[in-house]
Amino acid sequence: MFSVVFEQYNYAVVIILMMTGLYVVFASRNLIKKLVGLSIFQTSVFLLYITIGKVAGGQPPIIVDSHGGDHASLEPVLVAAAGGKDAAGYAGASDVLYSNPLPHVLILTAIVVGVATLAIGLSLVVRIREVYGTIEEDGINALDYRYNLEGTED
């Protein structure tokens, strides 16, 4: 049983990070810590994509023709590169562990998205600190509760 975990330790790392991040988001009451958890959660997804970007016996998808040409002849190359269902059966397959560039590119995009989310989140926390004077969720809830009852701020 343990050998499965050790052979595919990359997935274990992904799962541990994913669960840690998600737990921190839900369990902590501090707004900054929640964002830390969210970042860890998102990072685990980056690792997941990088992991699946490794294709045993793949080949670089170099297209010789200019685009708009006959793509059909290139189909096996592209499928092999993407690690699709036919990858193993492709005649030109080598025994190298090849990195498919597509997941890496996807993750570049996802990293940018993650940075933007974190930036917005942190700036919201700054504004919350300015207005409420606290970044603890319980404190904010208490202030809002009092506001609902009395209709006044502070």
DSSP labels, 40-57: HHHHHHHHHHHHHTEEET
Among positions 30, 99, 106, 136, the unique one binding another protein when judged by CB under 8 A: 106
Q: Which two tokens stand for residue 96?
A: 């190298």
Scan residues 25-84 and list those touching another protein (CB under 8 A): 25, 31, 34-35, 38, 41-42, 45, 48-49, 52, 67-68, 71, 78-79, 82-84
- What span, in angstroms and rounded, lies between the C-alpha atoms of 126 and 97? 46
Tell me whether residue 3 or residue 111 sits nearer to another protein (CB atom). Answer: 111
Nearer of residues 5 and 111 to another protein, judged by Cβ: 111
Cα 3–chain centre separation: 26
What DSSP state is assigned to residue 65? S
Q: Are 79 and 86 in contact (CB under 8 A)?
A: yes
Q: Which residues bind another protein (CB under 8 A)?
A: 18, 22, 25, 31, 34-35, 38, 41-42, 45, 48-49, 52, 67-68, 71, 78-79, 82-85, 87, 102-103, 106, 109-110, 113, 116-117, 120-121, 124-125, 127-128, 131-132, 140, 144, 147, 153
